[in-house]
Amino acid sequence: MSERAVRPREETADVALHRAYAEIHLPNLGHNLEEIKKRIPSGCEVMAVVKADAYGHGAAAVAKYLQGSCGVNSFAVADLGEAVALRESGIRGEILILGYTDARHKRYLIRHRLTQTIVSEEHARSLCESPGTVMAHLKLDTGMNRLGERVGELSTLLRIYGNKRLRFTGIYSHLARADSLDVEDAAFTQTQIGLFFDTVRDLKERGVDVGCTHIQSSYGILNYPDLPCNVVRLGIALYGAVPRTARTRLDIPLRPVLSLKAAVSAVKEVRAGESVGYGHGFTAQRDLRIAVVGIGYADGIPRCLSGKGGQVLIRGRPAPIVGSICMDQLMVDVTGLPGVRQGDIATLIGSEGGLELPVDQISELGDTINNEILSRIGGRVDRLPAGEW
Ligand SMILES: *Cc1c(COP(=O)(O)O)cnc(C)c1O
């Protein structure tokens, strides 16, 4: 597990060092967090989901900011490697591993005081075979059919709680269709919510101390903000990357945290009839000026964007992407933009000159969701704190 810290200031002083980089606007995390907190029940805590390197934003820097400047004391990651890296970066408080951890790694859970999700009865049993007590949250499957012990079999759940080498500090479930308010989707979500709270009540009636309860992730918060949980698991909304077109019950003014930029490495004239790039997938219909931008599919720009009308901003104006996207580069048409030259900075995600290219633009053209585009921004794209260099 490599950890990409936001680099120290002296190394980032010269923008020209960077072919492609992401600016991380940490204060926008604080803004988004506050906006969410205002709208959930008082006393409900936010667990910051920082899996996949904080959705590509850099987990260590994001978590440090949230802990140091916003008082967040609870974090969620996908796996043991991410959890250990986060702890080693100095993060205190709760770190919940949302995924499965094999029992043979139990000592790391204990050593780093991590909290493990129990994904099934078998998982609980295997974790109890060796000495030592692990902090755990029990995952209930209420209809997602991914991780979690099925609700309904109370005896199974009670057996899990009988394992003395697990110290349960929470219970949770995950909603499969919380992003949609269509009648059928909303009905399914209500069924999941009902099953969750019924099971929690049944367990409490049997004398089980379940610890904290949580079922909402970002869309759960935006569409079902009033659920009586102790915790919400906040991911994509924390990063201000809920799509502009999303229809949700709450409409919160979130601010994007990440901007993606790359330097222009060459500008050239292309004559009418000439073609550009691999496979010559684009042919100039008239004389054009083309800028080569130093970012490609290995940096997370989907190759399938070619020919679909994607744009970048240069000198505050939109420039259409032309030809196939290469591994490390792409080409844009800057014919209408006077003065573009080598060394200029192109914006792929972010705002410039009053125009904004949200990550939505890329994910819509790439036929995917913002989470995928952000989390796939490549490891060699430097994450830089905005405004400090
Ligand atoms: C990723 C994840 C989240 C965060 O989801 P967002 O939609 O990004 O807020 C919450 N809970 C679980 C179990 C997850 O896997």
Confidence band, pLDDT 50/70/90 cuts, at residue 11: low
Distance of CA 381 from the midpoint of ligand 1 (Å): 24
180 neighbors 151 (Cβ within 8 angstroms)? no
335 token code pair = 């014919």
Confidence band, pLDDT 50/70/90 cuts, at residue 2: very low
Catalytic residue among 51, 64, 139, 261: 51
Q: Which atom of ligand 1 is nearest to the CA of 51?
A: 1
Cα separation, 309 vs 14, whole angstroms: 32
Distances (CA, A) of 36 to 25, 72, 193, 250: 18, 13, 20, 10
Residues touching ligand 1 (Cβ under 6 Å) are 49, 51, 98, 174, 217-219, 233-236, 371
Q: Which atom of ligand 1 is nearest to the CA of 172?
A: 13
pLDDT in tens, 165-200: 999 999 999 999 999 999 999 999 999 999 999 999
Mutate which of 217, 219, 236 for ligand 1 pocket (most atoms within 8 A of beta carbon):
217
Distances (CA, A) of 257 to 241, 300, 315: 8, 17, 21
pLDDT in tens, 193-242: 999 999 999 999 999 999 999 999 999 999 999 999 999 999 999 999 99
- For the entire predicted model, the pTM comes to 0.94
pLDDT in tens, 108-145: 999 999 999 999 999 999 999 999 999 999 999 999 99
Q: Which atom of ligand 1 is nearest to the CA of 219?
A: 7
Cα separation, 118 vs 120, whole angstroms: 6
Q: What is the pLDDT of residue 1?
A: 35
Q: What is the pLDDT of residue 387?
A: 72
Token pair 């080498």 is found at 165
Distance of CA 261 from the midpoint of ligand 1 (Å): 27
108 is catalytic: no
Q: Is the pLDDT of residue 7 over 80?
A: no
What is the maximal distance between C-alpha atoms in the chain?
Answer: 79
